[in-house]
Amino acid sequence: MSQNIRDVIVTCPPMLLQFDRFVELAAEKGIRLHRAETTQILSEEELMALLPDYDGWIIGDDPATRQVFEAGLSGRLRAAVKWGIGVDNVDFAACKDLGIPITNTPQMFGSEVADVGTAYVIALARQLMLIDRGVRAGQWPKPAGISLPGRKAGVIGLGDIGRNVVTRLQALGLNVTAYDPGVEGDAGIAGLSRAAWPERVEEMDFLVFTCALNAHNTHMLNADVLARCMDGVRIVNVARGPLIDEAALIAALQSGKVHSAALDVFEVEPLPMNSPLRDMERCIFGSHNGSNSVDAVIRASHTALDHMAGFFDAMTPA
């Protein structure tokens, strides 16, 4: 164990919400854990003011940019862990250049996010959001849904989350096609068909986004692809907002091309008050909360602390 006590700041909301349970565990690893004052996403300016006072940073969805790391390094910051899977908000190249060791916590909540994605598929199939809203408003609505067995779903991304979505949808009787240029074959999943995006989108009753955001897939669901989709396609996104061109999605919802959408993530988060998406009736919205089960947060936070302690141990002369 490290001889020196290191001060580590946490800015990741799910870990902040269960913060007290991690303080003692961190102390056993030679880490004094500190919490950000808010669970809101911090700005670059706020991070640049905060980080120089800490040896380590457990990152949430904050803008972890080069200048933020540089500011931290000008003070005490020497190590970082991105809590969670997605690293699109973190400049890993800058960390490498600056000599700040960094990692993320992959495979910590593939099943939890997949549960939310699958729940959204069922909710869109049976229009549960319209029924809920109607009953609250004193109505007794009975919209006709669609049955799932025999329907087709395209799952975009065959990582941990995507594979869990595929097997859940197959268990519900859907025929699933997966899109992921980084994974070959059936990924060990019987009955899975494969295609290269956006081949065969016209066949899909559902499109479920589970992939990482990278330099090449921003707006992969755009007006052109939507035009090729089946009339009445249902869209689920539990991955990253910028994968979908929201303006194009809104137009497609308005025209009826897209039947409905369930979005846990948005181009701008939190979803701005003036976003036209808020007026879309046949939508369900989440708060980028797919990973947030008590169990998954404990798992990912333990891993983040282990990684952090490992970085500090490696810096401590034997």
Residues annotated as catalytic are 240, 269, 288
Size of the site for ligand GLV (CB under 6 A): 4
Residue with smallest beta-carbon separation from ligand GLV:
84
Q: How far apart are CA 287 and CA 270, in angstroms?
A: 7
Nearest approach in angstroms of CB 103 to ligand GLV is 13
Q: In the set 291, 292, 301, 303, which binds ligand GLV (CB under 6 A)?
A: 291
Nearest to ligand GLV of 86, 101 (CB atom): 86
* Ordered DSSP codes for 70-104: HHHHHTT--EEEE-SS--TTB-HHHHHHHT--EEE
Nearest approach in angstroms of CB 84 to ligand GLV is 2
Q: In the set 86, 154, 162, 286, which binds ligand GLV (CB under 6 A)?
A: 86
Burial of 245 (0-12, 13-18, 19+ CB in 10 A): buried
Q: Is the peptide bond before 198 cis (omega within 30 degrees of 0)?
A: yes
Assess 84 for contact with ligand GLV (CB under 6 A). Answer: yes
Positions in 198-227 near ligand GLV (CB under 6 A): none
Is the distance from CB of 168 to CB of 112 less than 8 angstroms? no
Nearest approach in angstroms of CB 223 to ligand GLV is 26
Stretch that binds ligand GLV, among 21-29, 78-86, 124-132, 148-156 (CB under 6 A): 78-86
CB atoms < 10 A from the CB of 185, how many?
9
* Ordered DSSP codes for 243-277: GB-HHHHHHHHHHTSEEEEEES--SSSSPPTT-GG
Q: In the set 26, 64, 77, 85, which binds ligand GLV (CB under 6 A)?
A: 85
Stretch that binds ligand GLV, among 33-41, 66-74, 81-89, 129-137 (CB under 6 A): 81-89
Nearest to ligand GLV of 192, 209 (CB atom): 209
Q: How far apart are CA 116 and CA 122, in angstroms?
A: 10
E strand intervals along the chain: 6-10, 31-35, 56-59, 79-82, 102-104, 152-156, 175-179, 193-194, 206-209, 233-237, 258-263, 283-285
Nearest approach in angstroms of CB 317 to ligand GLV is 34
Positions in 22-41 near ligand GLV (CB under 6 A): none
- Site for ligand GLV, rule CB under 6 A: 84-86, 291
